[in-house]
Structure 1
Amino acid sequence: MCSLALFPPPLPNGQTTLCESNNELLSGNKEDTQNASPLSLHFPRESLKLHSRTESSSKAAFLDHSETLWMRSAAAWRDGGLTGLLNEITDSDSEVPKWLSVGSGCILALLRWISSFHSSLFPHLTLSCEDMIAEFSQVLNWSDCVVRAFAWHPHTDKFAVALLDESIKIYNPKSTTTPTLKHRLQRNVAAMQWKPLCASALAVACQNCLLVWHVDPCSLSTRPSSSCAQVLSHPGHGPVTSIAWSPSGALLLSASPMDTSMMVWDVAAESCVPLQRVGGGGVTFLSWSPDGSHVLASTPSALFRVWETRMWTCERWPCLKGRCQSGCWSPDGSRLLFAVEGETVIYALTFAGAPAGVSTSSLTGPQAAAVVADLSETTFHTEDGDLIVGGEIQSLSWDPRGERLAVLLKGDPQATNRPAIIAVFKTRTSPIFELLPCGFVQGEPGVEPRLMQFHPNFQHGALLTVCWSSGRITHVPFYFLSSAVPHVALSGSPSLLHPLERPADFANQSLFTELIS
């Protein structure tokens, strides 16, 4: 298995990645990057009005008044459920019979013991909501990230950006209006996704619920009313860390590390069906295959499930070291690439299509996962000193044509020579699966990538959107002619100003091919 040593070396300090043209990654300076795309945005941290006061602290603004035990008990049940009610009764020992106070205390102690035992099996249950989202988010360093979620629309050039101040902005290059979405329940946004085959519906994963915004693309309003958002919630299903629409837009999936059930929502009816399996301790990440046949569901434990969506049965896949951190599907849904926490390799599962007249429930899935790339740490000797690239994987993104695979590497925040970086592979899925080195995507000096996503409908190859730690959003085009589409002539790619020549000796070196695996 080859390593990142086959990649061209990272860019020198002061250079940023502009695009891929003629099988080479071209670079330029800061000014070239800012002028490369009119869709590039910048959200300085200082410009965001952050919340400085929690909701619970607002109680101090009101005068205290006496409440009866039953009023306090009802409020405790509403806010904290059974545990809150038992706490209130135990603390009100002077107002209730002694046997009731003692009994409530014993039941509360038993519940806490059971909870501590459960938490010892699943340590993530002891985390706060924000820490839990940061732990399982696809965004690197989510807690401190200015851009917390990003979503391209599947059919147009508009996109949604969720910011640190709990607002969501929608940008469309064909419109001068930039709607800003705000809702009292829109807190700690972990993920967003536009509904397929629909112009206006945007699903948002929040701390305590799902919001589905319906934003009229023809409206000139810059601040849609909160009545434009559907609120979907289920007891115990929060924080929501991942969502996934079916390719037809008929169903919406949601996942929470606190809930062992994966929720299947009928948004129009505002109803859901829980899909629950024993083991795992929750669901952290979802990915629906483009052909609609399978769903990847990761858990906080060292196992993940692949559901088939005709009969909604699943296969369990155990991991050796940790949980499944991220995954992505090939355009035809036949191949799943995934990364495991604590490991530096990319695995692949291959799913055979069902013959005509044969139910998918009667077919057996893949027997084992194959290692297709090794991203162990590799040292590059550059003009600015040694740079160590590689290590654990934060997220994976595969372009809709299946020809470019982007891998966000975590790096080491404590070491300046181990930065977070995006490694891009050239991929081929037919007639055999192959991985080829392409290069590294880098930003301005001192800035690291936090989130990435491919444009779902870029006509000239692939377009990778990168959200950086500085609050800047840039778009890196990869110009190429798709191998899946016949062409009459091989015309040149669009040229950019001030390109920095890069060695092309790595273009034909294969990291993985099914012929030699």
Structure 2
Amino acid sequence: MCSLTLFPPPLPDGQTTLCESNNELLSGSNTQVCLNASPMSLHFPRESLKLHSRTESSKDAYYHTIKHDNAVIVQWISSFHSSLFPHLTLSSEDMIAEFSQVLNWSDCVVRAFAWHPHTDKFAVALLDESIKIYNPKSTTTPTLKHRLQRNVAAMQWKPLCASALAVACQNCVLVWHVDPCSLSARPSSSCAQVLSHPGHAPVTSIAWSPSGALLLSASPMDTSMMVWDVAAESCVPLQRVGGGGVTFLSWSPDGSHVLASTPSALFRVWETRMWTCERWPCLKGRCQSGCWSPDGSRLLFAVEGETVIYALTFAGGPQAAAVVADLSETTFHTEDGDLIVGGEIQSLAWDPRGERLAVLLKGDPQATNRPAIIAVFKTRTSPIFELLPCGFVQGEPGVEPRLMQFHPNFQHGALLTVCWSSGRITHVPFYFLTSAAPLVGLSGSPSRLHPLERPADFASQSLFTELLS
């Protein structure tokens, strides 16, 4: 198993990742980045946000709720069968931060980001509890605010629908219905449905089915995963003993399976035809993050406390999990001194074509030479599964990535959106040839770039290939 030593070295100070072209990541100075910035690149300075003051700390409020809400206590006793789990001592905010896919969620200016599955618009949840919706074809930027819209942990647009946005909040799930043709910059709170269930809070993850018919929600405080019929505002709890709650959900693109992580060292994979599940134990910690191949036949996941990526294959039935990449710490000797890259994984993102895999590495906030960074792999899923190093995505000096997501419909390869610790949002395009679309240059016209690696070259450099395992 190879390591990050196969990657090209990180960029020197003053250089920022621009794009991938000719099978390599291109960089430029910060000045060039500013001049060539996409109109959809945004910046939310922390000082520009009006943060809400709280007369009572979240932890005090949390214990106040425990003391006075007997119904919740009964729910806990029933759900956990009197078992004790360390995360139960956390406040709601600390619990969201612990299980969020966002690195350092508590202090992050951008707390959630969601591309629409069919258009170029996206939603941004900010530290001031507001959500803004951006559409390059509209001059109006709707701002969503609701009294229950607190501590947003995740957002996701409803598939096959232009207007519905689900938001995971501290005490409920909000489903906003924002008319894309409306010129209103401040939709009424009556445009939001409130979905709540006793004991199901805080909500840390949500997932729409690919058809948009069902919505799942998860809470570390509830061993039940809720399956919502949004139109009827009703839910069916899917409960299994063990795990201590549900922290993260991911629905496969083909709709056949759902990954459900727990706070403990096990996760479940549900099949959605009969809603039965398989239980998968982890060696060290909980399943931190996961993502599916475009056809839903393969699941990649990372485990807390480990530095590797695992894969589960479901074609012909699930098999044992295999290690497909080792991201142990590696020292790079740069002009600015030694830089240590690697370690634990915060989140994974796989582009919809299945050709680029982005891995957000946590780094060490106490060490300046161990930054959080995004490592990108080139991937293939057919006829065999292969991984090849691509490079590191880096931002301005002193700025680290916090959240990332691939555009669901980028026509010229893959487009990775990165939310940075500075409050800036940028978009990094990866231009490459595919069987479905021609390669397009930076200006939007076809460019004479080198084709992808020959199969022989690909196999000789692969971090992992099923032929070699």
TM norm. shorter chain > 0.5: yes
Do the aligned residues in 1 keep the contact of 2:129 with 2:145 (CA within 8 Å)? yes
Asked if structure 2 preserves the Cα contact closer than 8 Å seen for 1:392 and 1:409, the reply is yes
Q: Residues 28-427 of structure 1 correspond to what in structure 2 (within 5 A)? A: 28=28, 29-33=30-34, 35-54=36-55, 121-352=84-315, 367-427=319-379
CA 1:234–1:112 in 2, change beyond 3 Å: closer, same or farther? Answer: closer
Contact 1:190 1:206 in 2 (8 A): yes
Deviation at 1:446, TM superposition (A): 0.1
Pair 1:397–1:496, CA change in 2 (3 A): farther
CA contact (8 A) 1:292 1:309 kept: yes
Of 496, 500, 510, 2:448 maps to 496
Q: Match of 1:120, SS?
A: coil
Deviations 1:434-481 (A, max 9, x none): 000000000000000000000000000000000000000000000011
Residues 487 and 19 of structure 1: is their aligned pair in 2 closer, same or farther, counting only changes over 3 Å? closer
1:149-178 residue CA offsets vs partner (Å, 9 max, x unmatched): 000000000000000000000000000000
Change (3 A) 1:112 1:171: closer
CA distance in 1, matches of 2:248, 2:61: 40
Alpha-carbon distance in 1 for matches of 2:397, 2:100: 25
3-state SS, counterpart of residue 75 of structure 2: helix
Q: How far is the alpha carbon of 1:489 from its aligned partner?
A: 14
Aligned CA distance change for structure 1 residues 505 and 391 (closer, same or farther; 3 Å) = farther
Q: CA deviation at 1:34?
A: 5.3
For 1:515 and 1:179, locate their aligned partners in 2 and report how far apart those are by CA, in whole Å: 50
CA contact (8 A) 1:261 1:274 kept: yes
| Per-residue deviation, residues 14-47 of structure 1 (Å, max 9, x unmatched) | 0000000010100013442552311000000000
The whole-number CA distance in structure 1 between the counterparts of 2:459 and 2:35 is: 28
The question of whether the paired residues in 2 share the 8 Å contact of 1:480 and 1:493 is answered with: no
Shift of 1:493: 8.0
CA contact (8 A) 2:59 2:91 kept: no
In the alignment, what sits opposite 1:4? Answer: 4
What's the secondary structure of 1:31's corresponding residue? helix
Contact 2:167 2:174 in 1 (8 A): yes
Partner of 2:160, secondary structure, is coil
Moved more, 112-121 or 466-475: 112-121
Q: Secondary structure at the match of 1:508?
A: helix
Contact 1:21 1:495 in 2 (8 A): no
- Residue 121 of structure 1 deviates from its aligned partner by 3.1
Contact 1:290–1:329 (CA under 8 A) maintained in structure 2:
yes
**Which stretches of structure 1, 4 residues or longer, exceed 4 Å deviation after superposition?**
57-62, 109-120, 483-508
Secondary structure in structure 1 of the residue aligned to 2:457? coil
Residue in 1 aligned with 2:65?
A: none
Q: Which moved more, 1:35-44 or 1:23-32?
A: 23-32
Structure 2 spans left out of the alignment, 5+ residues = 63-71
Contact 1:330 1:398 in 2 (8 A): yes
Aligned partner of 2:417 in structure 1 is 465
User: Contact between 2:111 and 2:153, CA under 8 Å: does it hold in 1?
Assistant: yes
Task: Give the drift of 1:352.
Answer: 1.3
Q: 1:345 to 1:185 in 2, by over 3 A?
A: same
The 2-side partners of 1:51 and 1:143 are apart by 14
Q: Provide the C-alpha distance between the structure 2 equivalents of 1:488 and 1:380, rounded to a whole number of angstroms.
A: 33
Contact 1:346 1:373 in 2 (8 A): yes
Deviation at 1:53, TM superposition (A): 2.7
Q: Structure 1's 172 and 279: CA in aligned 2 closer, same or farther, altered over 3 A?
A: same
TM-score of the pair, normalised by structure 2: 0.91
Once structures 1 and 2 are overlaid, which stretch shifts more, 490-499 or 229-238?
A: 490-499
- Scaled by the length of structure 1, the TM-score of the pair is 0.82
- Alignment CA distance shift 1:490-1:506 (3 Å): farther
Hey, what's the Cα distance between the residues in 2 that align with 1:252 and 1:2?
39
For the residues of structure 1 that align with 2:292 and 2:418, how far apart are their CA atoms? Answer: 20
User: d(CA) in 2 for partners of 1:183 and 1:202?
Assistant: 14
Mapped contact 1:406–1:422 kept (Cα < 8 A): yes
Shift of 1:52: 1.4
Q: SS state of the match for residue 36, structure 2?
A: helix
Deviations 1:69-115 (A, max 9, x none): xxxxxxxxxxxxxxxxxxxxxxxxxxxxxxxxxxxxxxxx9999989
1:394-425: per-residue Cα shift (whole Å, max 9, x none)? 00000000000000000000000000000000
Residues 203-212 or 346-355, more deviating: 346-355
- Could you say if the C-alpha distance between residues 490 and 9 of structure 1 is closer, same or farther in structure 2, counting changes exceeding 3 Å? closer
CA contact (8 A) 2:76 2:222 kept: no
Task: Give the length in aligned residue pairs.
Answer: 459
Verify the 8 A CA contact 2:440 2:446 in the aligned structure 1: no
Question: Rg: which structure is higher?
Answer: 1
CA RMSD of aligned residues (A): 4.2
Q: Which moved more, 1:179-188 or 1:487-496?
A: 487-496
The answer to whether the 8 Å contact 1:15/1:30 transfers is: no
Give yes or no for contact 1:142–1:148 (8 Å, CA) kept in 2: yes
Shift of 1:54: 3.5
Aligned mates of 1:426, 1:187 — CA distance in 2: 37
> Secondary structure of 1:150's match?
strand
For the structure 1 residues 508 and 119, does the alpha-carbon distance in structure 2 shift closer, same or farther, using more than 3 Å as the test?
farther
Structure 1, 176-185 or 35-44: larger mean CA deviation: 35-44
| 1:488–1:327 CA distance, 2 compared to 1 (3 A) | closer
Contact preservation (8 Å) 1:287, 1:296 = yes
SS at match of 1:227: helix
Distance 1:174 1:127 in 2: 43
CA 1:230/1:489 → structure 2, altered by over 3 Å: closer, same or farther?
Answer: closer
Q: Tell me the secondary structure at the aligned position of residue 152 of structure 2.
A: coil
Find the aligned partners of 2:9 and 2:58 in 1 and give their Cα distance.
54
Q: Distance in 2 between matches of 1:507 and 1:291?
A: 28
Aligned CA distance change for structure 1 residues 176 and 268 (closer, same or farther; 3 Å): same
Distance 2:224 2:58 in 1: 34
Determine if contact 1:266/1:272 at 8 Å carries over to the other structure: yes
Q: By how many angstroms is 1:509 displaced?
A: 1.8
Q: For 1:118 and 1:189, locate their aligned partners in 2 and report how far apart those are by CA, in whole Å.
A: 29
Question: Cα gap change, 1:151/1:409 in structure 2, threshold over 3 Å: closer, same or farther?
Answer: same
Q: Shift of residue 495 of structure 1?
A: 7.6
Pair 218,381 (structure 1): closer, same or farther in 2 beyond 3 Å: same
Equivalent position SS for 2:77:
helix
Tell me, yes or no, if the aligned pair for 1:207 and 1:240 is still in contact at 8 Å: yes
| Structure 1: unaligned runs, 5 residues or longer | 63-108, 356-366
